[in-house]
Structure 1
Amino acid sequence: MNDSLSSESFFHGAKKAAHKAMDDHGRPEHDEFALHAGVAVEKLAKAVLVSKNPVYIAEIRNNSADMVLYLGGHLQVDEEKVRTVGAMEAIKRLRKINVLQPDPQLDLLIEMRNGAAHTAPDSTLAEGMISPLARTVAALLGDLGEPLDAFWERWTDAVKAAVNEQEDQVFRDVQLRITQARHAFEDRFVGLPAEVKEGALRAPQPRNEEWFVRPTEYLKDGIVVLKTSGGECPACGGQGLLTFEPASRTATNTHYSANGFGCYLCNFEASGPDEMAALRKANTPPMMTTVSVSHGPTLPPEVLKALDEEDA
């Protein structure tokens, strides 16, 4: 039998496609993610079927008897005529022997994969397909007796977070985006001297004049924000930028709470109170969460005017 139809060959093909899928998701290119994720599931499903019996990947057609004999190693067939099952049929066979369980989200992922080859799938749906990919791969690896980290390598922690049902979806999303930004940043320096990356991390951020906290601009809804250097980025280790919005105000003080974080080096971003709470909960460098500013008639006129308009 052709070596390309061995369990090992399917395993390595699945691993390559799965890593491409995770890279696609982080860029984000969700249509390509759906395509590569579906390929990964199909190849790993075939790896499991072949590991049990090579004939289990035979496609049932007019020449199915020849395929069974060929895959069984007792007949020579022109390689161009070799046909194996598709993704959905491979999954159905694995469900029949209780390797996989019914999973509507996995079925949707395979449908999107098939559509991605011809028409663009729904990118919003594709973005949320990390979980069915991760749990299906975990089930198939378990049957093969292969460890998760041998397959996912640098994506292992992100995949584990994606299927950790003890955490809420926002936390899982933030954890995944941290990992994606980290890998995208690291990939930019592959093959380059270490000092190139170190120099990028030491370089001042654009708008370095905002190193100290001071009111500088407005959000789109007109609320004054504060910008400051927010410390180490959880993804790349560079200096990120925190944004703050007013939480409460007295006659002499305005209290601001962090409402966003961004890093121009690796493009990791978090916004809103839920994502900022998830960012603080994650295993990341500590970040400033609140700022209190004392004010009076010495503040710049435009700031006083903005604060007065806010109270109006």
Structure 2
Amino acid sequence: MEKLVKAVLVSKSPVYIAEIRNNSADVVLHLGGHLPMDEEKVRTVGAMEAIKRLRKIGVLQPDSQLDLLIEMRNGAAHTSPDSTLAKAMISPLARTVETLLDDLGKPLDTFWERWTEAVKAAANEQEDQVFRDVQLRITQARHAFEDRFVGLPAEVKEGALKAPQPRREEWFARPMEIKKDGMVVLKTSGGDCPACGGQGLLTFEPVNRTATETTFTANGFGCYLCNFEVNGPDEMAALRKANTPGMVTTMAVSHGPTLAPEGIKMGETKAG
């Protein structure tokens, strides 16, 4: 973003990116086009100072979150990459980039390129954080998958998508483990992965049990091809909301009161 900030300053006047130092007068004259200088002696402002100058001339407005982001970038403030604070920085970054590009008369995709739609979704403050996070992870997994096949013939990627996946024999629901209370947890083929289009795997947990039937609900999805995954009811709800292919969401398994878990039979499934 620092280069974008400086580009906006230069669009106003090249001298606006000069750093105030002992040779600042020479730098100003050089940037104004009237004094040749060795490029190694030319010093320009950093990101924070550039932002301050854009605020002074009305291009940007004060934004404490953006200031924190710059401090994090400069090492003055610290946070782990996967922390809630770090994720919250996506919105101020996206807002600022959009404002700067608007000032330059440039579309968003000149900066974000293939990440444009993902950034729009991640910065949509009308949506909850879980939904934004799931959408961003879908895009990350999709790009990581596509990058594996850069420079290779198209049929290599197509072959990977068509090849039998690990545990492909588990096309139908089967027992995965027994919970402490004796309830069966299932896994089953879950349809197309929203990131790469490969065949994913759904996991289910029991939500209701009678003497002859157990009802399960999907509580996780994973793809072996691109490593995209979600876990828990909130992320599963966000996945279904993100305009992804339909997936089985509930499952009813018929059984006898004393039937061993490995003997259960597939019952009704419902797509949601």
TM-score normalised according to structure 1 size = 0.79
Say whether residues 1:213 and 2:173 are aligned partners.
yes
CA displacement at 1:62 relative to structure 2? 1.2
Q: Corresponding residue for 2:224?
A: 264
Q: Corresponding residue for 2:25?
A: 65
Aligned positions of 1:121-200 closer than 5 A: 121-123=79-81, 124=83, 125-200=85-160
Aligned residues: 262
Cα separation, partners in 2 of 1:214 and 1:92, compared to 1, 3 Å: same
Determine if contact 1:215/1:303 at 8 Å carries over to the other structure. no
Which AA in structure 2 matches 1:45? V
Q: Corresponding residue for 1:31?
A: none
CA displacement at 1:149 relative to structure 2? 2.0
- Structure ranking higher on relative contact order (CA contacts 8 Å, 6+ apart): 1
Q: Corresponding residue for 2:252?
A: 292
Q: Corresponding residue for 2:189?
A: 229
Q: CA RMSD in A?
A: 2.1
Counterparts of 1:301 and 1:198, CA distance in 2: 37
CA displacement at 1:222 relative to structure 2? 7.9
Aligned positions of 1:27-46 closer than 5 A: 41-46=1-6
Counterparts of 2:175 and 2:52, CA distance in 1: 60
1:194-236 Cα shifts (integer Å, max 9, x gaps) = 1110111111121122111122224799863210000000000
Percent sequence identity over matched residues?
82
Determine if contact 1:115/1:121 at 8 Å carries over to the other structure. no
Say whether residues 1:240 and 2:200 are aligned partners.
yes
**SS of the residue aligned with 1:290?**
strand
Which AA in structure 2 matches 1:244? F
**SS of the residue aligned with 1:257?**
strand
CA displacement at 1:297 relative to structure 2? 4.7
Counterparts of 1:255 and 1:115, CA distance in 2: 51
Q: Corresponding residue for 2:16?
A: 56
Which AA in structure 1 matches 2:221? F
Determine if contact 1:185/1:266 at 8 Å carries over to the other structure. yes
Counterparts of 1:298 and 1:208, CA distance in 2: 29
Counterparts of 1:219 and 1:297, CA distance in 2: 17
Counterparts of 1:220 and 1:85, CA distance in 2: 62
Cα separation, partners in 2 of 1:211 and 1:48, compared to 1, 3 Å: same
CA displacement at 1:130 relative to structure 2? 2.1
1:147-189 Cα shifts (integer Å, max 9, x gaps) = 1123222111101101112211111111111011000000000
Q: Gaps (5+ residues) in structure 2? A: 265-272
Which AA in structure 2 matches 1:122? S
Which AA in structure 2 matches 1:130? I
Cα separation, partners in 2 of 1:225 and 1:49, compared to 1, 3 Å: same
**SS of the residue aligned with 1:164?**
coil
Counterparts of 1:100 and 1:193, CA distance in 2: 46
Cα separation, partners in 2 of 1:106 and 1:303, compared to 1, 3 Å: farther
More helix by percentage? 1
More strand by percentage? 2
Cα separation, partners in 2 of 1:186 and 1:221, compared to 1, 3 Å: farther
Counterparts of 2:173 and 2:107, CA distance in 1: 48
Moved more, 218-227 or 178-187: 218-227
Cα separation, partners in 2 of 1:228 and 1:80, compared to 1, 3 Å: same
Q: Gaps (5+ residues) in structure 1? A: 1-40, 305-312
Counterparts of 1:191 and 1:220, CA distance in 2: 50
1:217-273 Cα shifts (integer Å, max 9, x gaps) = 247998632100000000000000001111111121111111000001001011111
Counterparts of 1:256 and 1:237, CA distance in 2: 25
* Aligned counterpart in structure 2 of residue 283 of structure 1, from 240, 243, 259: 243
